[in-house]
Each structure stands twice: as C-alpha cells, then as structure tokens.
Amino acid sequence: MITITEDLLDRLPAIRKTNLESQIVMTLGERLDVSPAEALDVYYSSDIARMVEQNLYGMQYLEATYLADEILMRMGQMG
C-alpha cells in the first residue's frame, strides 16, 4: 500500500514527466528502429521535449505515443 504524503504529492508531476519521457523515447526507438541512445538524441533534440520540460500547452498530460508521432511528423518521418 502506498502512503500518500505531502512529499509524494509534491513529487508526482516530476514522476509523471519522467515516465512520459521514457515512454516517448521507447516509442521513438521502436518506430525508428534505433538504439535507445539514438532515440534519446531524437527526443531531446525536438521542440516537443522543450515543451514537455516547460509544461507548455498541457503537453505533459498527452499520451506518449501521440507525442512520439508528433516528433516523427515534425521530422518528416510520418505522412
């Protein structure tokens, strides 16, 4: 059982962001058939990464697959 504390509540946004970023990177790696290091580079080179980091436009609440697709579309990798 998880005990909900003030500290946990304060850390939840950072935990969510870290989880989201790892899911985006995993999706990019699969879709591009590249190594995790290359997928990390693709993600952190994107403007989406900056928007997630800065919590702009509610990006941190979107699905990882949607954000990965958006990155690929902006790279010209998707129709």
Inside any domain, residue 1: no
Inside any domain, residue 2: no
For the residues of 5-31, what is the DSSP string, one character each?
Answer: -HHHHHHHHHHHHHHHHHHHHHHHHHH
Inside any domain, residue 17: yes
Q: Say what the pTM is.
A: 0.86
Inside any domain, residue 8: no
> Structural domain of residue 31, as residue ranges?
13-75
Inside any domain, residue 58: yes
Inside any domain, residue 56: yes
Number of domains in the chain: 1
Inside any domain, residue 4: no
Query: What is the pLDDT, as a whole number, of residue 78?
Result: 63
Which pLDDT tens digits describe the chain residue by residue (79 residues)? 888 899 888 888 888 899 999 999 999 999 999 999 999 999 999 999 999 999 888 888 899 999 999 999 999 876 5
Query: What is the pLDDT, as a whole number, of residue 9?
Result: 85
Query: What is the pLDDT, as a whole number, of residue 72?
Result: 97
